[in-house]
């Protein structure tokens, strides 16, 4: 029986390679995916550097990774819509099938969700395995077949793209609306890209680094950008840079207190603010302005039913007619690709912030 090479975070500042036991089919609905591509997420870096994100605390070693694609290598007897050899994207969070959240169609807020490479709230429960390994087991309904025009590298980006899609769907973005996205990291850029494809008329991306703002325009995600550090950092300056437009929707992807405040100040009266980025703690909030201007605030957590499928359709629509007709150049977001043997180096590079946008690690061969 072959082993299962895995990348394991043992504790803060301590990542190692380990050869673990491979997963086995235990349900007729199980599939085994041979992982080929995995993206590094900011949450991975938080666990690496700090050992926790809010209530999720690293108490014991865990396999890293949750942004992955691969090839089906084995299926259970009950799997009908997938076959060995299919290229798939893996949705890394599986809820309890008996929870009220699952039954109500909001499985993303299930407190008992098993989410890859995320420590459970109960320290007595084993850590769910991450996807940075050779073989990963999943229920068949949490893996999604990739169209031929969508590469495995792009398949690994379905996870962060789904985060943006979820926020956009919560806000019910309508064709022709104007949108501002705070943050030009991977999630912010993918959220802005999705907003354009959902039909936003104008999209502005806000950040403090001109290189990231230039990339937002270069890939086609934004037709306006604003540097909130050099451009004034206030509502009037931002609105002026947006040709006087007050956005219908603001998608806040930073979690930074000044950005949250500015989001409320710039959105139009009666508009919507979607909080996608996680703050490190409580933040001041302009509640009087929020109330008197009758704004709506949505909390957005991960992704729910339909978001993965929608994200794959976005990539299929974008690349299905050939690269000379693409609307958004998602591939330009992949700035670094590392071999399996370089996986620890990849984490150190992203942690150091050395000009990376989306870093992909190839799976072990």
Residue 213 falls inside a structural domain = yes
Tens of pLDDT along 180-213?
Answer: 999 999 999 999 999 999 999 999 999 999 999 9
Domain range enclosing 339: 4-145+330-362
- Taking CB atoms within 8 Å and a gap of at least 24, the contacts of 94-100 are 94/138, 94/139, 94/142
Q: d(Cα 150, Cα 259) in Å, to the nearest integer?
A: 34
DSSP code of 363? P
Both 278 and 213 in one domain: the answer is yes
List C-alpha distances in Å: 312 to 147, 307, 319: 8, 9, 11
Neighbours of 142 (CB within 10 A): 17
Domain boundary at 278, 299, 320, which?
299
Q: How far is CA 97 from the centre of its chain?
A: 23
Structural domain count, the chain: 2
Give 33's pLDDT tier (boundaries 50, 70, 90): very high
Q: Look up the pTM and report it.
A: 0.96
**What's 180's domain CATH number?**
3.40.50.720
Task: Specify if 45 maps to a domain.
Answer: yes
Last residue of a domain, one of 299, 320, 346: 299
Same domain, 138 and 170: no
Distances (CA, A) of 54 to 64, 109, 261: 18, 15, 21
- CA distance to 127, 195, 205, 210, 311, per residue, from 250 (Å): 35, 11, 10, 20, 20
Residue 71 lies in a domain: yes
| Mean model confidence pLDDT for the chain | 96
Q: At 202, phi and psi to the nearest 5?
A: -130, 140
**Residue 210 shares a structural domain with residue 78:** no
Least confident of 79-93, 233-247, 350-364: 350-364
Q: Where are the alpha helices (DSSP H) in the chain?
A: 42-50, 100-103, 152-155, 158-171, 186-197, 210-218, 235-241, 257-266, 287-292, 307-319, 343-352
Q: Are 91 and 52 contained in the same domain?
A: yes
31, 24 in Cβ contact below 8 A? no
Q: Are 21 and 133 in a shared domain?
A: yes
Q: 12 and 130: one domain?
A: yes
> Is 304 within a domain?
no
Closest by alpha carbon to 145, among 249, 71, 225, 49? 71
- Look at residue 101 in the predicted model and tell me its pLDDT: 96
Residue 261 lies in a domain: yes
**Interval 278-289: pLDDT, tens:** 988 899 999 999
> 189 and 118 in one domain?
no
Instruction: Say whether both 139 and 176 belong to one domain.
Output: no
Q: How far apart are the first and last CA of the chain?
A: 15
Does the structure show a pLDDT above 60 at 1?
Answer: no
* Residues 181, 141 share a domain: no
186 inside domain:
yes
Per-residue pLDDT at 264: 98
What confidence tens digit (pLDDT) does each residue in 142-175 have? 999 999 999 999 999 999 999 999 999 999 999 9
CATH of the domain at 128: 3.90.180.10
* Token pair 């022709």: residue: 176
Task: Looking at the structure, tell me whether residues 280 and 174 fall in a common domain.
Answer: yes
* 135 plus 169 within the same structural domain: no
Q: Is 270 exposed, middle or buried (0-12, 13-18, 19+ CB in 10 A)?
A: exposed
In-domain check, residue 53 = yes
If DSSP states are collapsed to H, E and C, what string results for the chain?
A: CCCEEEEEEEECCEEEEEEECCCCCCCCCEEEEEEEEEECCHHHHHHHHHCEECCEECCCCEECCCEEEEEEEEECCCCCCCCCCCEEEECCEECCCCCHHHHCCCHHHCCCCEECCCCCCCCCCCCCCCCCECEEEEEHHHEEECCCCCCHHHHCCHHHHHHHHHHHHHHCCCCCCEEEEECCCHHHHHHHHHHHHCCCCEEEEEECCHHHHHHHHHCCCCCEEEECCCCCCCHHHHHHHCCCCCCCEEEECCCCHHHHHHHHHHCCCCCEEEECCCCCCCCCCCHHHHHHCCCEEEECCCCCCCHHHHHHHHHHHHHCCCHHHCCCCHHHHEEEEECHHHHHHHHHHHHHCCCCCEEEEECCC
353/200: higher pLDDT:
200
Flag whether 309 is in a domain: no
172 and 294 fall within a common domain: yes
What is the mean predicted confidence (pLDDT) over 76-100? 97
Q: Which of 247, 277, 299 is the last residue of a domain?
A: 299
């Amino acid at each position: 029986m072959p082993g299962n090479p895995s990348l394991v975070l043992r504790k803060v500042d301590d990542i190692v390679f380990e050869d673990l036991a491979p997963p086995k089919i235990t349900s007729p609905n199980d599939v085994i995916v041979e992982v080929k591509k995995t993206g590094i997420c900011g949450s991975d870096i938080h666990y690496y550097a700090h050992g926790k994100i809010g209530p999720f605390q690293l108490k014991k070693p865990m396999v890293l990774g949750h942004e992955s694609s691969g090839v089906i290598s084995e299926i259970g007897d009950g799997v009908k819509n997938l076959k060995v050899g299919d290229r798939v994207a893996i949705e890394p969070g599986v809820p309890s099938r008996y929870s009220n959240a699952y039954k109500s169609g909001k499985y993303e807020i299930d407190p008992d969700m098993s989410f890859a490479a995320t420590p459970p709230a109960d320290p007595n429960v084993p850590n769910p395995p991450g996807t940075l390994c050779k073989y990963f087991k999943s229920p068949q309904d949490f893996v999604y077949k990739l169209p031929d025009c969508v590469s495995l590298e792009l398949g690994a980006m379905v996870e962060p793209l789904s985060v943006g899609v979820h926020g956009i769907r919560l806000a019910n973005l309508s064709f022709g609306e104007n949108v501002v996205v705070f943050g030009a990291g991977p999630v912010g850029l993918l959220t802005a890209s999705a907003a354009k494809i959902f039909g936003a008329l104008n999209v502005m991306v806000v950040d403090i680094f001109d290189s990231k703002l230039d990339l937002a325009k270069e890939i086609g995600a934004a037709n306006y950008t604003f540097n909130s550090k050099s451009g004034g950092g206030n509502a009037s300056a931002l609105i002026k840079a947006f040709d006087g437009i007050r956005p219908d929707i603001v998608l806040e992807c930073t979690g930074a207190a000044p950005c949250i405040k500015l989001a409320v100040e710039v959105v139009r009266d009666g508009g919507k603010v979607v909080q996608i980025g996680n703050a490190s703690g409580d933040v001041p909030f302009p509640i009087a302005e929020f109330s008197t201007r009758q704004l709506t605030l949505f909390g957005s957590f991960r992704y729910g039913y339909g978001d993965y499928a929608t994200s794959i359709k976005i990539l299929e629509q974008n690349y299905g007619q050939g690269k000379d007709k693409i609307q958004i150049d998602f591939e330009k977001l992949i700035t670094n690709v590392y071999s399996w043997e370089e996986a620890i180096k990849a984490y150190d590079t992203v942690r150091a912030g050395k000009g990376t946008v989306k870093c992909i690690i190839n799976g072990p061969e």
